[in-house]
Structure 1
Amino acid sequence: MSHPATGSLPPPDFEIASAFPEADWLRRAATARDWDAIRDYVGGLPYGTDRSFAVRQLGEVAGIEEWLRGIVAAAPRDVLALTVLGAREVQIGWGIRTTARAEHVSREQFAGLHAHLRQAEQLLIRATALDPAFDAAWAERLTTAMGLQLGQNESRRRYDQLAKHHPHHFTGQARLLQKLCPKWGGSWEAAHAFTRECMLAAPEGALNGGLVAEVHMEHRHSVPSKDREAYLRQDHVRAELVEAAERSVLHPRFHRGYGWVTVQGYFAALFSLMGDLPRAAACFRGLGNLASEYPWAELGADPAETYIRHRDTALARG
């Protein structure tokens, strides 16, 4: 099989709307303050759709909080409005904190984060009380539980409430996974066990196997840089990643739902790093030129350059 010369391949496209055009529509509707159109769109999504995607796109629109507060005041039982406003408060708070490691975050930044997360909590508690099956609200409450350091048990409780109605909710599982990692007070044993449980419970071809890739990337990143290659070359790590890929991105029925670009990117990166270039190449071919910030931002100062370097090597040699 012939492949195009790597030098002729386009650069990676990190725009989420390239994979999911509805992201652009949601942002434009939010900028236009067209709440009726937004509510109709989200309400019309098929049951089982991960509505956290739509809520996140809306929550990232600067200034949306200014008019959403009026919507919530006028319609205090509007679950979607409560959830989107809560998500926006989370975004504002995390913007104040930044993504720096905790030791590099000031007391004032933590105070700003917590103030906005507490506002988000009040909105999201109301949302889940009004509609206990609204997935996006529970997913946001997993983020607030983490930021407010409410503990492993409370995060699990919130996830269990979400899983009652949405047992394979990828966004919710990914957010609980972060809490289960040691950096948020968990353990590698708990984190790895949870990702395997999610993968095996989900249908083959689902995104959930991508959690196995994410936890191995997190674990790799936690060890000294001189040991990272050795970590990925362990037999059990290789076996777990191959199994997870074959149940997800390399499965004939792989479902390209919200989050698939990130999942496929994690596998492409990990197989590349561990020297499994044929599988890395298969993942890169599946991506085309689509990319997401993670995992590439974790692997180099210039995510685009990192993506291109790994892609070109995999396609040339794999």
Structure 2
Amino acid sequence: MQHTSASFLSRLARPDFDIASAFPEASWLRQTAAARDWASIRSYVDGLPQGTNRSFAVGILQDVRGVEDWMREVLAAAPEDVLALTVLGAREVRIGWKIRTDAPAENVSRKQFAGLHTHLRQAEQALIRATAIDPAFDAAWAERLTTAMGLQLGQAEARRRYDRLTAHHPHHITGQGRLLQQLCPKWGGSWEAAHGFARECMTGAPEGALSGGMVAEAHMEHWISLNGRERVEYLRQPHVHAELVEAAERSTLSPHFRPVYAWVTVQGYFAALFSLVGDHARAAACFHSLGNLASEYPWAELGVNATDAYIKHRNSALAKG
């Protein structure tokens, strides 16, 4: 590949972490929620094509400040509104996790854990109602995977919830990512279980599906858990690179790939890991696909500042790839 000049690299745009830049409907959802136009939101979500990952819409809505109060008002008038129950549950999850923070468990206080559990139990009440009314509502089951993890309900219960989700949505990338977290050692699992599940997701999905990204996420989680020299040695293992190549070529680097919800995150994992293992050609292909689109993860794991980490690895990949 032709060498990329330093002057060209210096002109590249900074990464854009706003999900609305990849999916403009996110901006519409935010504005419509701010206007408290529930009828329009319901109509939009109900009209999404069969198989669409509705966790995308719920994820946008759960970040709207005060939405929990609005959802309680909606539910007072329509107690069986599954979407409102799911948004309320998701918002409670988000509030609880902000109290806990993303710090390692040993750095989280008893008071923070108590706050997390209070909100997760409230979320569970809403989400259990949602899945009882509509057992096929994917976003509610995906949120129940997070509550299962936070409330430490165990691997078997998490897998049961995942199985209920995939009975209706077999390659649900949000659900897969959340169960993968549960299967990591930090949540009581093992690396064998995490990598095994990631491969199961990849091999069970059609060509071009995002599920291959679970292989990349599992390797990233494993790499993050290590320190210093261990990280270098981990990435030097030939099977790690081989698995990443296979997963990328079956998902975001496949000719059958289409940029559906969550693709920016998945492509980011591949870009980051190919950069870290020194496969600059494939990293460059991922960065070209992204343009300047980015999500907080995995870049927040690669340095003090996600923006700086993205720019460092992108510029290196484009210069060397």
TM beyond 0.5: yes
Q: Helix, strand or coil for the counterpart of 1:47?
A: coil
User: Which amino acid in the other structure matches residue 309 of structure 1?
Assistant: K
| Per-residue Cα deviation, 1:247-291 (whole angstroms, up to 9, x for no partner) | 011111112111100111111110101111111111111110111
1:120-162 deviation line (CA, Å, top 9, x unaligned): 0000000000000000000000000000000000000000000
For residues 160 and 111 of structure 1, the distance between their equivalents in structure 2, rounded to whole angstroms, comes to 29
The aligned amino acid for 2:92 is E
- CA–CA distance in 2 between the matches of 1:277 and 1:233? 15
Q: Please identify, of 138-147 and 71-80, the stretch whose mean Cα deviation from structure 2 is larger.
A: 71-80
- Residue of structure 2 aligned with 1:9, choices 9, 12, 15: 12
Match of 2:44 in 1: 41
Distance 2:232 2:278 in 1: 10
Deviation at 1:42, TM superposition (A): 0.3
**Structure 1 stretches of 5 or more lacking a match?**
none
Tell me, which stretches of 5 or more residues in structure 2 are unaligned? none
Within-5 A mapping of 1:104-253: 104-253=107-256
Which amino acid letter does the alignment assign opposite residue 60 of structure 2?
A: Q
Identity rate, percent? 72
Deviation string, structure 1 residues 163-221 (Cα, Å, up to 9, x no partner): 10011111001000000000000011111111101101111111000010000000011
Measured in 2, the distance between the counterparts of 1:42 and 1:229 equals 45
TM-score (norm 1): 0.98
Residue 97 in structure 1 maps to residue 100 in structure 2: yes
Counterpart mapping for 1:254-273 below 5 A: 254-273=257-276
Cα distance in 2 for partners of 1:266, 1:183 equals: 20
Aligned residues: 318
Cα offset, 1:225, TM superposition: 2.1
- What is the CA–CA distance in structure 1 between the aligned matches of 2:84 and 2:216, rounded to whole Å? 34
State whether structure 2 residue 87 is matched by structure 1 residue 84.
Answer: yes
Cα distance in 1 for partners of 2:46, 2:200 equals 30
Letter in 1 for 2:237: Q
CA–CA distance in structure 1, aligned partners of residues 77 and 275 of structure 2: 53
Whole-Å Cα distance in 2 between the matches of residues 176 and 292 of structure 1?
20
TM-score, L = length of structure 2: 0.97
The two structures, once aligned, show a CA RMSD in angstroms of 1.0
Equivalent residue runs for 1:45-56 within 5 Å: 45-56=48-59
Segments of 4+ moved more than 4 angstroms: 1-4
SS in 1 for 2:275: helix
- 2:28 corresponds in structure 1 to 25
